[in-house]
Amino acid sequence: MIRNRFAAIAATTAAAALLLTACNAADDAASAAREGAGSALQSLNFGSGTAKQNNAAPGTGDWATRPGKPASKPAAKKWVQLSASSAGDLDPVVVNGAGFTLYRFDKDTADPSRSNCSGECATTWPPVLVAPGGKIFVDGVAKSDVGVVKRDDGNLQVTIGGWPVYRFSKDLEPGDTNGQGVGGTWFGVTPDGQKAGAAEAPEQGGDGTAAPASSVTLSDEINFGDPSEGLAGSGCQNVGRDDSASSLQASGALKIWSGKDCKGESKVVQGNIADLNSIGFDDRISSVFLG
């Protein structure tokens, strides 16, 4: 019996040692990531005001594409501008040097800073990247709230209040806010890293805050009657028929638009909506944004 007791104590001690080793390894990795980001931040330069006020050469830096062209996967630039401004119904919200709205993602983390948007996600939501030794112009954004985080591909992504920031590929003109509320997880970012327009909560058709919907069924009649059409996938999906939609079913949050290609009037919804008129949206839906 004494031998068994000693064996149990030894096993418990070994398990505790393994757990402590694992915890220390995780702490060391997090500490190394923080130190790496800190070193990268120290290598950057800050300028007060806009890039233009600082005589930055036209056509350099800030990766924003020309108005009318969707954002594409960016390369790290020598300078990035962060300006406190207003866009659509969002006031304040941070925009870049070309006036395009910047966003934050609820599935990222701010402490420690961590981006969880890569691959296809990063194509739809291109991260704001700055080259090592580059410059960040701050206009209405406190330098103390600005940082960088090293992405898995080694690029440095700009953060505000610890949150990695992005653009939205469906914002085609300065001042567009088509990414606001998408999936119930994407929001414009304020100068201190908070959610811009956070009061704009999804219309509830279920319980709590849902994950982004990957499919939706649109019905011509209220209470989900036939005929109906199903859409699935990710990104902007156009409705294939010309009939109106009076109700929808979705296992998550999505954004609906009155026009094709995710343009026109929009609204963030969540779950099943038995009568779209009840939430103040016209019964014509021409496109939706999924995923």
- The token pair at 257 is 């638009």
Q: How far is the C-alpha of 149 from the C-alpha of 163, rounded, in Å? A: 9
Query: DSSP letter at 273?
Result: B
- The token pair at 231 is 């859409």
* Contact partners, residue 98, CB within 8 Å, separation at least 6: 62, 64, 67, 174
Residue 74 vs residues 1, 36, 71, 114, 166: alpha-carbon distances, Å: 67, 22, 8, 18, 10
Query: Of 39, 31, 33, 34, nearest to 132 (Cα)?
Result: 39
Nearest 5°: the CA angle 183, 188, 193 is: 115
CB of 183 within 8 A of CB of 254? yes
Q: How far is the C-alpha of 155 from the C-alpha of 73, rounded, in Å? A: 12
CB of 169 within 8 A of CB of 125? yes
Q: How far is the C-alpha of 65 from the C-alpha of 98, rounded, in Å? A: 8
Residue-by-residue pLDDT tens, the chain, 291 positions: 444 544 444 444 554 444 444 445 444 544 544 555 566 666 789 999 999 899 988 777 875 566 677 777 677 888 999 999 999 989 999 999 989 999 999 999 999 999 999 998 999 999 999 999 999 999 999 999 999 999 999 999 999 999 999 999 989 899 999 999 998 889 999 999 999 986 555 665 544 556 888 899 998 888 888 888 899 888 899 988 766 688 889 888 899 988 888 888 888 888 888 888 888 886 578 899 987
What distance lies between CA 34 and its chain's CA centroid?
A: 22
